[in-house]
Amino acid sequence: MTSPLPPLPTPEQTAAVDAAITSRRSLRAFLPTPVPRETIEDILRVASRAPSGTNTQPWKVYVLTGEPLQALARDITAVYDDPAEAARHREEYAYYPVEWRPPYIDRRRKVGWDLYGLLGIAKGDKPRMHAQHGRNYVFFDAPVGLMFTIDRVMQQGSWLDYGMFLQNIMVAARARGLDTCPQAAFTQFHRIILPRLGAADDEMLVCGMSLGFADPAAVENTLVTEREPVAGFTRFLG
């Protein structure tokens, strides 16, 4: 089944899309204001238009609110705060490189110290660093937590597709006045999370995400990360 090509966007539509993309940031403090289920469903419906190889649509989403969200947060935090127990948990896939090199390690360090600087966390203050990282596991107080899984038979191409789906969620959320924080931090605790979701054995945890209304009074939400100019990562041929 085919449909007519969509009309060219108006300048106002282009500006709205650009604004949703460029205003997206990973925010780390949310208000408790509930997000209507209809809004979450709308965001996921729009995001599902992400492209995927031969229309495989490899994403599976679990939406947590209320007590299920709080219970999962408590379970993960209890393990995270127990060094011996936390050491028993490992990520199922490598998100970051084994060997860091410039410019990636420099960017990583800068964003970390920029955040800690806003929060007044000094270098070497391990207890406060631990506590701040632990904020991931309470979804930064967001009222909605999303967990994303993928079937284990899927390969690298489907993970590329998944990234486009995740980006669509974050942009669609911004278009509705909401903010997000995509979180690979959850992958360490996949053995806790997947059973709580009722996920099948053939599902792998991709990441989690906090969703809600940003807390405008939180200093950590003033962080704006830098981006390379187009000339820094692009080579035009011809």
**pLDDT tens column, 164-190:** 999 999 999 999 999 999 999 999 999
What is the rounded CA–CA span in Å between residue 210 and residue 25?
12
Does residue 114 form part of some domain?
yes
> Considering Cα of 159, then 161, then 162, then 164, what sign does the dihedral take?
positive
At 112-155, the pLDDT tens digits run 999 999 999 999 999 999 999 999 999 999 999 999 999 999 99
The residue segments making up the domain with residue 71 are: 27-225
Q: Given pLDDT bands bounded at 50, 70 and 90, which one contains residue 6?
A: confident
Torsion of CA 179, 183, 189, 194, to 10 degrees: 60
Domain CATH code at residue 189: 3.40.109.10
Counted domains in the chain = 1
Does residue 143 form part of some domain?
yes
Does residue 146 form part of some domain?
yes
Does residue 232 form part of some domain?
no
Does residue 236 form part of some domain?
no
Residue 2 has pLDDT above 80, yes or no: no
- Taking alpha carbons only, the member of 142, 147, 146 closest to residue 212 is 142
Q: In what order do the strands lie in the sheet with 144-151?
A: 60-64, 144-151, 203-212, 179-183
DSSP run (H or E) holding 214: none
Does residue 130 form part of some domain?
yes
Does residue 8 form part of some domain?
no
Taking CA atoms, 138 is separated from 12, 141, 175, in Å, by: 38, 6, 25
Is-above-0.85 flag for pTM? yes
Q: Given pLDDT bands bounded at 50, 70 and 90, which one contains residue 1?
A: low
Does residue 219 form part of some domain?
yes
Amino acid in position 56? T
Could you give the percent of the chain with pLDDT greater than 90?
97
- Taking alpha carbons only, the member of 144, 142, 188, 162 closest to residue 48 is 162
* Per-residue pLDDT, 172: 98
